[in-house]
Amino acid sequence: MKLIISILALYMVGAHAVVQEQMFKGTAKLVEVLIPNELLSQKTLKFSCRRGSKEAKTYPYITKENRLFALIAETYYSEFETISCHINETKVAEILVLDKAYPITYLRVPSEQTSPSPETQARIEREQTLLGKVYATSSSTLLYDKPFVVPLDSVVTSPYGVKRIYNNGELAGYHSGIDYRAATGTSLYSANSGKVILAQDLFVTGNTVIIDHGKRLFTIYAHMSKISVTVGQIVKQKQLIGLAGATGRVTGPHLHWGVRLHSTLVDGNTIVSETETFFDRF
């Protein structure tokens, strides 16, 4: 009996609470965990999450006393594995990824946009390379101090995640942002404070503004008729960044709002709700 008790005690000393969470594919999720006592004195901690047998991804985080907060993202094409997160080598969280049924829509756009000419294809590729460079840098500190808000108080005409089929052709991927009804000339505002890292015309998204909010969280505003900010500019939450329009690959004027967390385009509504939770608890 005495032996059993000592074995149990040893086990408890080495055990940590493993936080259990759930998230849907295509969303952002706030993970809050306790930093294991033995790691509290360490200067730098590594927070990483592993999906199945894939290589673990390291995520930026914020700490307050013995708590660690991180926003993680799961792709639209998730394979629904359980994500296990670690601080250094100690497992601290387990997140179950759930499926979500997204609807299908059929879109009609000019054939030049679905079967681009070689010149257009070259332009699209140049712009993808540019975007890769733009997204490669993000502030190492948070550039916002309050929850995100949606950029426009208007009807959502196409939510995140809708499967899209162009001109009766095959599936052309999914809708990676949220579309809001907006007549040309409607004022558009930043969803949070941050730094403008792109402000120019692109083939697919037309006049586009991308804002870095720090720690690899970005918001994207597309199809604008006018851009009112410049690259490098620091913007506040709800600052005017431009006017809605119908530039780029569109069927009519609207605002397409995208949210990119790490390298994943997620449902913007989840960055609003998860940052509300973060500022409640932090």
Give the footprint of Zn ion on this chain (CB under 5 A): 177, 179, 256
Write down the least CB distance from residue 121 to Zn ion, Å. 21
Give the residue with the Cβ less far from Zn ion, 177 or 242.
177
Give the residue with the Cβ less far from Zn ion, 27 or 176.
176
Give the residue with the Cβ less far from Zn ion, 26 or 36.
26
Give the residue with the Cβ less far from Zn ion, 25 or 256.
256
Write down the least CB distance from residue 187 to Zn ion, Å. 19
Structure tokens at 270: 């989840």
Question: How many Å separate Cα 112 from the centre of its chain?
Answer: 30
CA distances to 34, 40, 61, 69, 70 from 64, rounded to whole Å, are 10, 11, 10, 8, 12
Cα separation of 153 and 214, whole Å?
25
Bridge partners, residue 93, by sequence: 19, 85
3-state secondary structure 123-175: HHHHHHHHHHHHHHCCCCCCCCCCCCCCCCCCCEEECCCCEEEECCCCEEEEC
Give the residue with the Cβ less far from Zn ion, 51 or 256.
256
| Beta-strand relationship, 156-158 and 90-98 | unpaired
Write down the least CB distance from residue 175 to Zn ion, Å. 6
Cα separation of 71 and 23, whole Å?
12
Closest CA to 227 of 195, 253, 201: 201
Write down the least CB distance from residue 159 to Zn ion, Å. 10
Give the residue with the Cβ less far from Zn ion, 195 or 249.
249
In the numeric block, the tokens 């639209």 are attached to: 76
Give the residue with the Cβ less far from Zn ion, 90 or 157.
157
Q: Which secondary structure element, helix H or strand E, spans residue 11, and what is its range?
A: helix 2-14
| 248 within 8 A of 112, measured Cβ to Cβ | no
Structure tokens at 121: 């294809």
Write down the least CB distance from residue 256 to Zn ion, Å. 3
Amino acid identity at 143: L
Amino acid identity at 216: R
Closest chain position to Zn ion (CB): 256
Write down the least CB distance from residue 143 to Zn ion, Å. 25
Give the residue with the Cβ less far from Zn ion, 57 or 181.
181
Residue 116 burial (CB count, 10 A): 16
Write down the least CB distance from residue 72 to Zn ion, Å. 24
Write down the least CB distance from residue 205 to Zn ion, Å. 9
